[in-house]
Amino acid sequence: MNTSNGQVRVRFAPSPTGFFHIGGARTALFNWLYARHCGGTFVLRIEDTDKKRDSEEALRVLIDGMKWLGLDWDEGPEVGGPHEPYFQSKRSEIYAEYLQQLRDCGRAYDRDGAVWFRVSGSMSQIDDKIRGKVQRLEEKDFVIVRSDGQPVFHFVNVVDDIAMGISHVIRGEDHLSNSSKHVELFLAFGRQPPTFAHIPLILKTNGPGKMSKRDSGALIEDYAGRNYLPEAVRNYLCLLGWSPKDDREILPIEEIIALFDLPGINKNNARFDEKKLAHINGEYLRRMAFDDFYSRAIPLLRNAGLVDDSSDGAYVRSVLGICQEKLRELAELEHFCAYFFRDDYQRDATAEGKIISSGNSLASVGEFLAALWELGDRWDVESLEQFTQKLAATNGRKTGDYIHSIRFAVSGQSVGPGFYAMVAVIGKDRTVKRLENFLRQYSAGNP
Ligand code: GLU
């Protein structure tokens, strides 16, 4: 069937478990990057011999996750498509043929109803592209077909790597200890083992353990559900164990493909950092063309009931225009901008505590309101900024006193879009009403 002929042929070989863990996604990504870097072939092979566990739904999660991350494969399952060649569950004839080869050369025999592989007794050595030289002696014969007729992972994994002409096996370090069994099998079939590259683990944000599916941020499908940008998640995953060797974190995928190589993969375990991922997502949001951002944001605002067909389109665009640069993730959008559309917005308790304890907010809001007539019809960023600076100079205050109090009074928050832009977009009438409201409520000592 396929042979490598000096060509790079790599594969991602997931067992469908029902979720797409970031560890698996990173393995898929590194294989994909390497294939694209070398102009090779990226194969998707579904290792679904464990019938009890596998299901259509589990497969769907994987395929959707791969597509969402833009990891297109050159050979392998096209679910619902015209050909579905690489499901291990559909390759039993191939495994039977290869098993016969092992029987014929005396390397497979039956005991207790199962088929066993006879080990060679020699040390197997791999020259791992990341771990370096690894030696291990497989001392005991091992089962390759269980008594119920199910072929065992080690056997089908190696048979498929041979049958599919896989040149490089890039996979998680948890498989390093399996590689001596695999080398034994390759040699028993009279084949040179492929080049191995075992990628270090991804550790939990805190503590020594490996990320498990229960850890926050561990599943790709959750990022899709939270409207993360797939390009941002992919960019972050590239940095889990690889770097461009300078300080850059945000790189276009074409550049990563050009730079990516196996010796560049870090030998140390990578540590997962959900905050950094959110930060990178925010960077991607900021760099996105406004129209693109707008078309992703509108359905979320509609769903939240903040905009509908009767909304003022220009106003909505202005709001989104100033929120784009401050958001870290689209899931925050509703909370981040609800006050632009509703007067019954929530007040953040911590922000409120800070404002009350500052002791000058009532005076600041009062002074700002009383002097607003000076602005006349002007209500733009520049005029508001000059006005606030002049007011601060006149009253011997810091501009920050006005900024913090007024931001809280009109939005209920201590953070948000740029202050002057926010007040400019909210508009004079709404600002005045909210400031008056603030004074009424808080001077009565009744927040
Ligand atoms: N099915 C194995 C896994 O999901 C694949 C191991 C390999 O890449 O060789 O871990």
Structure pTM?
0.91
Does 398 map to a domain?
yes
Does 408 map to a domain?
yes
> What's the number of domains the chain is made of?
2
Pairing mode of beta strands 195-199, 202-203: unpaired
Task: Verify that 327 and 353 share a domain, yes or no.
Answer: no
pLDDT in the model for residue 5? 63
Does 360 map to a domain?
yes
Does 389 map to a domain?
yes
Q: Which of 341, 373, 407 is the last residue of a domain?
A: 341
pLDDT in the model for residue 424? 98
- Residue 264's nearest CA partner among 144, 127, 97, 130 is 130
Q: Is the pLDDT of residue 3 over 60?
A: no
Average pLDDT, the chain: 94
Task: Verify that 364 and 314 share a domain, yes or no.
Answer: no
Task: Verify that 318 and 362 share a domain, yes or no.
Answer: no
Indicate which residue's Cα is closest to atom 5 of ligand 1. Answer: 13
Does 238 map to a domain?
no
Task: Verify that 370 and 317 share a domain, yes or no.
Answer: no
Does 239 map to a domain?
no
Residue 129 contacts residue 196 (beta carbons within 8 Å): yes
Q: How far is the CA of 190 from the centre of ligand 1 (A)?
A: 22
Does 105 map to a domain?
no
Q: Which of 15, 54, 173 to mutate to test the pocket of ligand 1 (most atoms within 8 A of CB)?
A: 15
Task: Verify that 405 and 331 share a domain, yes or no.
Answer: no
Task: Verify that 297 and 365 share a domain, yes or no.
Answer: no
Residue 174 contacts residue 12 (beta carbons within 8 Å): no
Catalytic residues, by residue number, are 213
Q: How far is the CA of 107 from the centre of ligand 1 (A)?
A: 24
Ligand 1 interacting residues, C-beta cut-off 6 A: 13-15, 47, 157, 169, 171, 175
Task: Verify that 377 and 431 share a domain, yes or no.
Answer: yes
Task: Verify that 373 and 418 share a domain, yes or no.
Answer: yes
Q: Which of 321, 341, 361 is the last residue of a domain?
A: 341
pLDDT in the model for residue 359? 87
Does 421 map to a domain?
yes
Under the banding of pLDDT at 50, 70 and 90, the label for residue 83 is: low
In angstroms, the CA 157 to CA 182 distance is 8
Closest ligand 1 atom number to CA of residue 174:
10
In angstroms, the CA 397 to CA 418 distance is 20
Residue 347 contacts residue 412 (beta carbons within 8 Å): yes
Question: Could you read off the pLDDT of 320-340 as tens digits, one per residue?
Answer: 999 999 999 999 999 999 999
Q: Is the pLDDT of residue 45 over 90?
A: yes
Can you spell out the DSSP letters for 129-156?
TTTEEEEEE--S-EEEE-TTSPBPHHHH
Question: Could you read off the pLDDT of 236-256 as tens digits, one per residue?
Answer: 999 999 999 898 999 999 999
Q: How far is the CA of 168 from the centre of ligand 1 (A)?
A: 13
Task: Verify that 435 and 367 share a domain, yes or no.
Answer: yes
Q: Which domain holds residue 322?
A: 291-341
In angstroms, the CA 185 to CA 251 distance is 40
Q: What is the mean pLDDT of residues 271-285?
A: 97
**CATH number of 376's domain:** 1.10.10.350
